[in-house]
Amino acid sequence: MGEARTGTGAESNGTGGRAAEPTTGTGTGTGSATGGRTAQLAHTGLRHGWTTGACATAATTAAYTALLTGDFPDPVTITLPKGQTPAFALAAEEMAGDRAVAMAAVVKDAGDDPDVTHGALIRATVRRLPAGSGVVFKAGPGVGTVTRPGLPLDVGEPAVNPVPRQMMRDHVAEVAARYGGSGDVEIELSVDHGEEIARSTWNPRLGILGGLSILGTTGIVVPYSCSAWIDSIRRGVDVARAAGRTHVAGCTGSTSEKVVVAEHGLPEDALLDMGDFAGAVLKYVRRHPVPRLTVCGGFAKLSKLAAGHLDLHSARSQVDKGFLAELARQGGADEALAGEVATANTGLAALQLCAARGVPLGDLVAATARDEALAVLRGAPVAVDVICIDRAGNVVGRAAPRGPRDAS
Protein backbone atom coordinates (compact mmCIF):
# COMPACT_ATOMS: atom_id res chain seq x y z
CA MET A 1 0.00 0.00 0.00
CA GLY A 2 2.84 1.97 0.66
CA GLU A 3 3.23 5.67 0.35
CA ALA A 4 1.63 6.83 -2.84
CA ARG A 5 -1.27 9.24 -2.49
CA THR A 6 -3.37 7.78 -5.27
CA GLY A 7 -5.82 4.90 -5.34
CA THR A 8 -5.36 2.37 -2.57
CA GLY A 9 -2.04 3.75 -1.53
CA ALA A 10 -3.11 7.15 -0.30
CA GLU A 11 -5.12 8.24 2.65
CA SER A 12 -6.69 11.15 0.83
CA ASN A 13 -7.37 9.15 -2.32
CA GLY A 14 -5.28 11.52 -4.37
CA THR A 15 -6.04 14.90 -2.86
CA GLY A 16 -3.47 15.32 -0.11
CA GLY A 17 -2.60 13.97 3.27
CA ARG A 18 -0.25 11.18 4.27
CA ALA A 19 0.12 8.81 7.14
CA ALA A 20 2.99 9.38 9.53
CA GLU A 21 3.85 9.24 13.20
CA PRO A 22 2.16 12.04 15.13
CA THR A 23 3.94 14.54 17.29
CA THR A 24 0.95 16.45 18.60
CA GLY A 25 -2.57 15.76 19.75
CA THR A 26 -3.50 12.26 20.85
CA GLY A 27 -0.43 10.59 19.38
CA THR A 28 3.00 10.34 20.91
CA GLY A 29 6.29 11.29 19.31
CA THR A 30 9.50 9.57 20.26
CA GLY A 31 12.07 11.49 18.25
CA SER A 32 14.63 14.15 19.05
CA ALA A 33 13.30 17.42 20.38
CA THR A 34 15.49 19.38 17.97
CA GLY A 35 15.81 17.34 14.80
CA GLY A 36 14.74 14.36 12.80
CA ARG A 37 11.50 13.37 11.20
CA THR A 38 9.36 13.62 14.35
CA ALA A 39 10.55 17.13 15.16
CA GLN A 40 10.16 18.10 11.51
CA LEU A 41 6.52 17.00 11.52
CA ALA A 42 5.84 18.86 14.75
CA HIS A 43 7.29 21.99 13.16
CA THR A 44 4.37 22.18 10.72
CA GLY A 45 2.14 23.21 13.64
CA LEU A 46 -0.87 21.46 12.12
CA ARG A 47 -3.29 19.06 13.79
CA HIS A 48 -3.05 15.38 12.91
CA GLY A 49 -6.00 13.20 11.97
CA TRP A 50 -6.90 9.55 11.54
CA THR A 51 -6.88 7.44 8.39
CA THR A 52 -9.89 5.65 6.99
CA GLY A 53 -8.12 2.42 7.97
CA ALA A 54 -7.92 3.50 11.62
CA CYS A 55 -11.58 4.53 11.63
CA ALA A 56 -12.63 1.24 10.04
CA THR A 57 -10.59 -0.66 12.63
CA ALA A 58 -12.25 1.23 15.47
CA ALA A 59 -15.73 0.60 14.05
CA THR A 60 -14.92 -3.10 13.52
CA THR A 61 -13.58 -3.47 17.06
CA ALA A 62 -16.69 -1.89 18.55
CA ALA A 63 -19.07 -3.98 16.42
CA TYR A 64 -17.36 -7.29 17.15
CA THR A 65 -17.14 -6.50 20.85
CA ALA A 66 -20.89 -5.88 20.82
CA LEU A 67 -21.50 -9.23 19.10
CA LEU A 68 -19.67 -11.04 21.89
CA THR A 69 -20.77 -8.97 24.91
CA GLY A 70 -24.01 -7.27 23.94
CA ASP A 71 -22.52 -3.81 24.55
CA PHE A 72 -20.79 -1.35 22.25
CA PRO A 73 -17.64 0.19 23.80
CA ASP A 74 -17.91 3.96 23.41
CA PRO A 75 -15.37 5.38 23.03
CA VAL A 76 -13.53 2.44 21.51
CA THR A 77 -9.74 2.29 21.82
CA ILE A 78 -7.48 0.67 19.24
CA THR A 79 -3.73 0.15 18.91
CA LEU A 80 -2.06 1.57 15.81
CA PRO A 81 0.95 -0.04 14.08
CA LYS A 82 3.42 2.23 15.91
CA GLY A 83 1.83 1.65 19.30
CA GLN A 84 -0.39 4.72 19.71
CA THR A 85 -3.75 4.02 21.35
CA PRO A 86 -6.33 6.58 20.17
CA ALA A 87 -9.96 6.44 21.27
CA PHE A 88 -12.86 6.97 18.85
CA ALA A 89 -16.42 8.03 19.66
CA LEU A 90 -19.16 6.03 17.95
CA ALA A 91 -21.49 7.98 15.67
CA ALA A 92 -23.93 5.11 15.19
CA GLU A 93 -24.48 1.57 16.45
CA GLU A 94 -26.99 -1.19 15.71
CA MET A 95 -27.50 -4.82 16.69
CA ALA A 96 -29.63 -7.32 14.79
CA GLY A 97 -30.37 -11.01 14.43
CA ASP A 98 -30.04 -12.01 18.08
CA ARG A 99 -26.44 -10.77 18.18
CA ALA A 100 -25.59 -12.33 14.82
CA VAL A 101 -24.88 -8.95 13.19
CA ALA A 102 -23.63 -5.67 14.64
CA MET A 103 -22.85 -2.34 13.01
CA ALA A 104 -20.76 0.52 14.42
CA ALA A 105 -19.77 3.76 12.71
CA VAL A 106 -17.08 6.39 13.22
CA VAL A 107 -16.80 9.87 11.70
CA LYS A 108 -13.40 10.42 10.12
CA ASP A 109 -11.43 13.37 11.50
CA ALA A 110 -8.59 14.26 9.13
CA GLY A 111 -7.25 16.98 11.42
CA ASP A 112 -6.04 20.01 9.49
CA ASP A 113 -5.59 18.05 6.27
CA PRO A 114 -7.74 19.09 3.28
CA ASP A 115 -8.83 15.49 2.80
CA VAL A 116 -11.93 14.71 0.75
CA THR A 117 -12.86 12.00 3.27
CA HIS A 118 -12.83 14.39 6.26
CA GLY A 119 -16.19 14.08 8.02
CA ALA A 120 -17.14 10.88 6.21
CA LEU A 121 -19.12 8.30 8.17
CA ILE A 122 -17.29 4.97 8.04
CA ARG A 123 -19.37 1.93 8.97
CA ALA A 124 -18.32 -1.61 9.85
CA THR A 125 -20.99 -4.31 9.82
CA VAL A 126 -19.67 -7.49 11.43
CA ARG A 127 -21.40 -10.85 10.93
CA ARG A 128 -20.62 -14.18 12.57
CA LEU A 129 -19.28 -16.89 10.23
CA PRO A 130 -18.84 -20.65 10.71
CA ALA A 131 -15.75 -21.79 12.56
CA GLY A 132 -12.69 -21.88 10.35
CA SER A 133 -13.89 -19.15 8.00
CA GLY A 134 -11.38 -16.59 9.27
CA VAL A 135 -11.86 -12.89 8.58
CA VAL A 136 -13.58 -12.06 5.30
CA PHE A 137 -13.77 -8.52 3.91
CA LYS A 138 -16.70 -7.22 1.89
CA ALA A 139 -17.23 -3.90 0.13
CA GLY A 140 -20.45 -2.26 1.25
CA PRO A 141 -22.01 0.89 -0.22
CA GLY A 142 -19.42 3.61 -0.80
CA VAL A 143 -16.35 1.33 -0.69
CA GLY A 144 -14.75 0.49 -4.01
CA THR A 145 -13.91 -2.81 -5.65
CA VAL A 146 -10.68 -3.46 -7.58
CA THR A 147 -11.40 -4.15 -11.26
CA ARG A 148 -7.94 -3.88 -12.86
CA PRO A 149 -4.54 -5.46 -12.14
CA GLY A 150 -1.53 -3.48 -10.96
CA LEU A 151 -2.74 -2.58 -7.47
CA PRO A 152 -1.66 -4.32 -4.23
CA LEU A 153 -5.03 -6.14 -4.16
CA ASP A 154 -6.41 -8.82 -6.43
CA VAL A 155 -9.08 -8.00 -8.98
CA GLY A 156 -12.50 -8.44 -7.42
CA GLU A 157 -11.31 -7.61 -3.92
CA PRO A 158 -12.74 -4.78 -1.81
CA ALA A 159 -10.48 -1.71 -1.91
CA VAL A 160 -9.25 -2.25 1.64
CA ASN A 161 -5.48 -1.98 1.74
CA PRO A 162 -3.27 -4.64 3.34
CA VAL A 163 -2.28 -2.65 6.44
CA PRO A 164 -5.86 -1.76 7.44
CA ARG A 165 -6.83 -5.39 6.76
CA GLN A 166 -4.13 -6.58 9.13
CA MET A 167 -5.15 -4.02 11.74
CA MET A 168 -8.72 -5.30 11.65
CA ARG A 169 -7.62 -8.94 11.77
CA ASP A 170 -5.43 -8.21 14.78
CA HIS A 171 -8.20 -6.43 16.64
CA VAL A 172 -10.74 -9.14 15.85
CA ALA A 173 -8.32 -11.71 17.24
CA GLU A 174 -7.74 -9.63 20.36
CA VAL A 175 -11.46 -9.19 21.00
CA ALA A 176 -12.07 -12.89 20.36
CA ALA A 177 -9.38 -13.88 22.85
CA ARG A 178 -10.73 -11.49 25.46
CA TYR A 179 -14.41 -12.47 25.22
CA GLY A 180 -14.32 -16.07 24.03
CA GLY A 181 -15.16 -15.63 20.35
CA SER A 182 -13.95 -17.71 17.41
CA GLY A 183 -12.68 -14.74 15.39
CA ASP A 184 -14.56 -15.98 12.31
CA VAL A 185 -16.39 -12.96 10.91
CA GLU A 186 -17.34 -11.09 7.80
CA ILE A 187 -16.47 -7.37 7.93
CA GLU A 188 -18.52 -5.29 5.54
CA LEU A 189 -17.14 -1.76 5.29
CA SER A 190 -19.14 1.12 3.88
CA VAL A 191 -18.80 4.89 3.64
CA ASP A 192 -21.85 7.12 3.49
CA HIS A 193 -21.81 9.00 0.14
CA GLY A 194 -18.51 7.25 -0.64
CA GLU A 195 -19.28 6.69 -4.31
CA GLU A 196 -19.95 10.39 -4.76
CA ILE A 197 -16.80 11.38 -2.84
CA ALA A 198 -14.72 8.94 -4.90
CA ARG A 199 -15.44 10.94 -8.05
CA SER A 200 -13.00 13.54 -6.67
CA THR A 201 -10.22 10.93 -6.43
CA TRP A 202 -8.12 8.87 -8.82
CA ASN A 203 -9.98 5.67 -7.93
CA PRO A 204 -12.14 5.55 -11.09
CA ARG A 205 -9.08 5.97 -13.34
CA LEU A 206 -7.30 3.17 -11.48
CA GLY A 207 -10.22 0.82 -11.90
CA ILE A 208 -11.44 1.05 -8.30
CA LEU A 209 -15.16 1.31 -8.85
CA GLY A 210 -18.09 1.90 -6.54
CA GLY A 211 -16.48 4.10 -3.93
CA LEU A 212 -13.49 4.97 -1.82
CA SER A 213 -10.52 2.96 -0.60
CA ILE A 214 -9.84 2.11 3.04
CA LEU A 215 -6.27 3.26 3.47
CA GLY A 216 -3.36 4.11 5.74
CA THR A 217 -0.03 2.61 6.79
CA THR A 218 0.27 4.04 10.30
CA GLY A 219 -3.32 5.00 11.07
CA ILE A 220 -2.44 8.69 11.31
CA VAL A 221 -2.85 11.47 8.74
CA VAL A 222 -0.25 14.21 8.80
CA PRO A 223 -1.83 17.40 7.48
CA TYR A 224 -0.79 18.54 4.06
CA SER A 225 0.40 22.13 3.74
CA CYS A 226 2.89 23.20 1.08
CA SER A 227 4.40 26.12 2.96
CA ALA A 228 4.52 24.38 6.33
CA TRP A 229 5.97 21.19 4.88
CA ILE A 230 8.67 22.95 2.87
CA ASP A 231 9.59 25.04 5.90
CA SER A 232 9.92 21.85 7.94
CA ILE A 233 12.19 20.32 5.27
CA ARG A 234 14.49 23.34 5.47
CA ARG A 235 14.59 23.09 9.23
CA GLY A 236 15.48 19.40 8.94
CA VAL A 237 18.43 20.18 6.67
CA ASP A 238 19.62 22.93 9.01
CA VAL A 239 19.48 20.62 12.04
CA ALA A 240 21.36 17.87 10.23
CA ARG A 241 24.11 20.27 9.15
CA ALA A 242 24.38 21.74 12.64
CA ALA A 243 24.81 18.22 14.02
CA GLY A 244 27.67 17.64 11.62
CA ARG A 245 25.87 15.06 9.48
CA THR A 246 27.58 14.30 6.17
CA HIS A 247 24.83 12.02 4.86
CA VAL A 248 21.12 12.82 4.87
CA ALA A 249 18.14 11.10 3.29
CA GLY A 250 15.02 12.52 1.71
CA CYS A 251 12.20 9.99 2.22
CA THR A 252 8.70 10.03 0.78
CA GLY A 253 7.18 8.36 3.84
CA SER A 254 7.62 6.12 6.85
CA THR A 255 8.22 2.95 4.81
CA SER A 256 11.05 4.49 2.81
CA GLU A 257 12.50 5.90 6.02
CA LYS A 258 12.74 2.38 7.46
CA VAL A 259 14.50 1.18 4.30
CA VAL A 260 17.08 3.98 4.51
CA VAL A 261 17.78 3.27 8.17
CA ALA A 262 18.23 -0.43 7.39
CA GLU A 263 20.49 0.32 4.41
CA HIS A 264 22.64 3.10 5.86
CA GLY A 265 22.05 3.18 9.61
CA LEU A 266 21.37 6.91 9.56
CA PRO A 267 20.40 8.62 12.83
CA GLU A 268 17.02 10.28 13.13
CA ASP A 269 18.32 13.81 12.69
CA ALA A 270 19.69 12.84 9.25
CA LEU A 271 16.23 11.84 8.00
CA LEU A 272 14.16 14.35 6.05
CA ASP A 273 10.45 13.73 5.59
CA MET A 274 10.42 14.85 1.97
CA GLY A 275 6.86 13.76 1.21
CA ASP A 276 6.02 14.94 -2.30
CA PHE A 277 8.42 17.89 -2.20
CA ALA A 278 11.52 16.52 -3.91
CA GLY A 279 12.26 19.92 -5.36
CA ALA A 280 12.22 21.57 -1.93
CA VAL A 281 14.88 19.16 -0.66
CA LEU A 282 17.09 19.48 -3.73
CA LYS A 283 16.91 23.27 -3.97
CA TYR A 284 17.66 23.78 -0.29
CA VAL A 285 20.51 21.27 -0.29
CA ARG A 286 21.86 23.06 -3.37
CA ARG A 287 22.17 26.23 -1.29
CA HIS A 288 23.18 24.40 1.90
CA PRO A 289 25.17 21.38 0.73
CA VAL A 290 25.56 18.08 2.55
CA PRO A 291 28.21 15.71 1.11
CA ARG A 292 25.77 12.89 0.41
CA LEU A 293 22.03 12.75 -0.19
CA THR A 294 20.03 9.54 -0.48
CA VAL A 295 16.60 9.86 -2.07
CA CYS A 296 14.30 6.96 -1.20
CA GLY A 297 10.68 6.47 -2.13
CA GLY A 298 8.04 4.49 -3.92
CA PHE A 299 8.75 3.44 -7.49
CA ALA A 300 5.82 5.40 -8.91
CA LYS A 301 6.74 8.62 -7.12
CA LEU A 302 10.38 8.43 -8.11
CA SER A 303 9.39 7.72 -11.71
CA LYS A 304 7.86 11.20 -11.63
CA LEU A 305 11.17 12.66 -10.43
CA ALA A 306 12.92 10.71 -13.18
CA ALA A 307 10.56 12.35 -15.69
CA GLY A 308 11.53 15.79 -14.40
CA HIS A 309 8.74 16.52 -11.92
CA LEU A 310 9.84 18.14 -8.64
CA ASP A 311 6.39 18.04 -7.03
CA LEU A 312 5.36 14.41 -6.75
CA HIS A 313 1.81 14.99 -5.52
CA SER A 314 -0.85 13.17 -7.53
CA ALA A 315 -2.82 16.37 -8.10
CA ARG A 316 0.15 17.99 -9.86
CA SER A 317 2.04 15.17 -11.56
CA GLN A 318 1.15 11.73 -12.85
CA VAL A 319 3.11 8.59 -13.67
CA ASP A 320 4.01 8.84 -17.36
CA LYS A 321 3.74 5.30 -18.71
CA GLY A 322 5.03 6.45 -22.11
CA PHE A 323 8.19 7.65 -20.37
CA LEU A 324 8.46 4.31 -18.56
CA ALA A 325 8.06 2.50 -21.88
CA GLU A 326 11.00 4.46 -23.30
CA LEU A 327 13.14 3.59 -20.28
CA ALA A 328 12.12 -0.04 -20.72
CA ARG A 329 13.30 0.09 -24.32
CA GLN A 330 16.65 1.41 -23.11
CA GLY A 331 16.79 -1.58 -20.79
CA GLY A 332 16.27 -4.08 -23.58
CA ALA A 333 12.47 -4.33 -23.84
CA ASP A 334 11.09 -5.24 -27.22
CA GLU A 335 8.26 -3.26 -28.77
CA ALA A 336 5.62 -5.66 -27.52
CA LEU A 337 6.70 -5.20 -23.90
CA ALA A 338 7.14 -1.45 -24.35
CA GLY A 339 3.57 -1.29 -25.60
CA GLU A 340 2.32 -3.18 -22.55
CA VAL A 341 4.20 -0.81 -20.27
CA ALA A 342 2.77 2.23 -22.06
CA THR A 343 -0.77 0.99 -21.46
CA ALA A 344 -0.28 -0.46 -17.95
CA ASN A 345 -2.86 0.52 -15.35
CA THR A 346 -0.28 1.72 -12.79
CA GLY A 347 3.44 2.23 -12.38
CA LEU A 348 3.50 -0.90 -10.23
CA ALA A 349 1.94 -2.90 -13.07
CA ALA A 350 4.61 -1.58 -15.46
CA LEU A 351 7.33 -2.56 -13.01
CA GLN A 352 5.89 -6.07 -12.66
CA LEU A 353 5.67 -6.51 -16.43
CA CYS A 354 9.33 -5.60 -16.84
CA ALA A 355 10.50 -7.69 -13.89
CA ALA A 356 8.83 -10.76 -15.40
CA ARG A 357 10.82 -10.24 -18.63
CA GLY A 358 14.16 -9.42 -17.00
CA VAL A 359 14.10 -5.69 -17.79
CA PRO A 360 15.52 -3.67 -14.85
CA LEU A 361 12.98 -0.85 -14.96
CA GLY A 362 13.44 -0.10 -11.25
CA ASP A 363 17.18 0.48 -11.67
CA LEU A 364 16.58 2.57 -14.78
CA VAL A 365 14.11 4.80 -12.94
CA ALA A 366 16.49 5.14 -9.99
CA ALA A 367 19.42 6.12 -12.22
CA THR A 368 17.35 8.62 -14.20
CA ALA A 369 15.92 10.12 -11.00
CA ARG A 370 19.44 10.47 -9.61
CA ASP A 371 20.58 12.29 -12.74
CA GLU A 372 17.56 14.61 -12.58
CA ALA A 373 18.41 15.36 -8.96
CA LEU A 374 22.00 16.19 -9.92
CA ALA A 375 20.71 18.54 -12.60
CA VAL A 376 18.66 20.42 -10.00
CA LEU A 377 21.70 20.57 -7.69
CA ARG A 378 23.60 22.42 -10.47
CA GLY A 379 27.07 21.29 -9.50
CA ALA A 380 26.68 21.65 -5.73
CA PRO A 381 29.15 19.39 -3.89
CA VAL A 382 26.59 16.68 -3.16
CA ALA A 383 26.71 13.02 -4.18
CA VAL A 384 23.27 11.51 -4.77
CA ASP A 385 22.06 7.94 -4.69
CA VAL A 386 18.47 6.74 -5.18
CA ILE A 387 16.53 3.77 -3.82
CA CYS A 388 13.14 2.78 -5.27
CA ILE A 389 10.85 0.58 -3.19
CA ASP A 390 7.52 -1.13 -3.68
CA ARG A 391 4.53 -0.75 -1.39
CA ALA A 392 5.80 -3.45 0.96
CA GLY A 393 9.18 -1.76 1.38
CA ASN A 394 11.11 -4.11 -0.89
CA VAL A 395 13.92 -2.48 -2.87
CA VAL A 396 13.00 -2.68 -6.57
CA GLY A 397 15.62 -0.33 -7.98
CA ARG A 398 18.74 1.52 -6.95
CA ALA A 399 21.36 3.86 -8.36
CA ALA A 400 24.83 4.16 -6.84
CA PRO A 401 26.10 7.50 -5.49
CA ARG A 402 27.10 9.98 -8.16
CA GLY A 403 28.44 13.49 -7.68
CA PRO A 404 28.86 16.57 -9.86
CA ARG A 405 32.28 15.48 -11.13
CA ASP A 406 30.88 12.11 -12.16
CA ALA A 407 28.05 13.83 -14.00
CA SER A 408 30.31 16.13 -15.97
Q: Is 124 helix (H, G, I), strand (E, B) or coil?
A: strand
Sheet holding 135-139, edge to edge: 92-96, 101-107, 121-128, 185-191, 135-139
Tell me which amino acid residue 344 is.
Answer: A
What is residue 224's DSSP assignment? Answer: P
Identity (one letter) of the amino acid at 28?
Answer: T
For 272, the enclosing helix (H) or strand (E) is: strand 271-273
What pLDDT is recorded for position 24? 29
Q: So what's the pLDDT on residue 44?
A: 64
Helices 321-330 & 299-306, crossing angle to 10 degrees? Answer: 80
Give the number of residues written for the chain.
408
Q: What angle do CA 77, 220, 226 make, to 5 degrees?
A: 155
Quickly list DSSP for 314-377: TTT----HHHHHHHHHHTT--HHHHHHHHT-SSHHHHHHHHHHTT--HHHHHHHHHHHHHHHHH
Q: What is the pLDDT of residue 131?
A: 93
Predicted pLDDT at 40: 58
- The closest alpha carbon to 328, from 349, 310, 298, 305, belongs to 349
Q: Both ends of the chain: CA-CA distance in Å?
A: 38
Q: What is the pTM of this model?
A: 0.62
Nearest to 273, CA basis, from 296, 305, 303: 296
Mean pLDDT by 10 residues, the chain (408 residues): 32 35 32 54 73 96 97 96 93 89 94 78 97 97 89 90 95 97 97 92 81 86 66 82 93 91 93 88 95 96 92 70 96 96 92 96 97 95 96 94 78
Give me the torsion for CA of 69, 73, 77, 80, rounded to 10°.
Answer: 60
pLDDT at 6: 28
Cβ-contact 233, 274 below 8 angstroms: yes
Domains of the chain, earliest start first: 49-220 (3.30.2110.10), 226-407 (3.40.1050)
Among 143, 178, 147, smallest CA distance to 164 is for: 143
Q: What is the Cα–Cα distance from 127 to 97, expressed in whole angstroms?
A: 10
Provide the pLDDT for residue 115: 73
Instruction: Determine if residue 120 is left, alpha or beta; phi over 0 gives left, psi from -120 to 50 gives alpha, anything else beta.
Output: beta
The 3-state DSSP composition of the chain as helix, strand, coil percent (nearest 5) reads 35, 20, 40
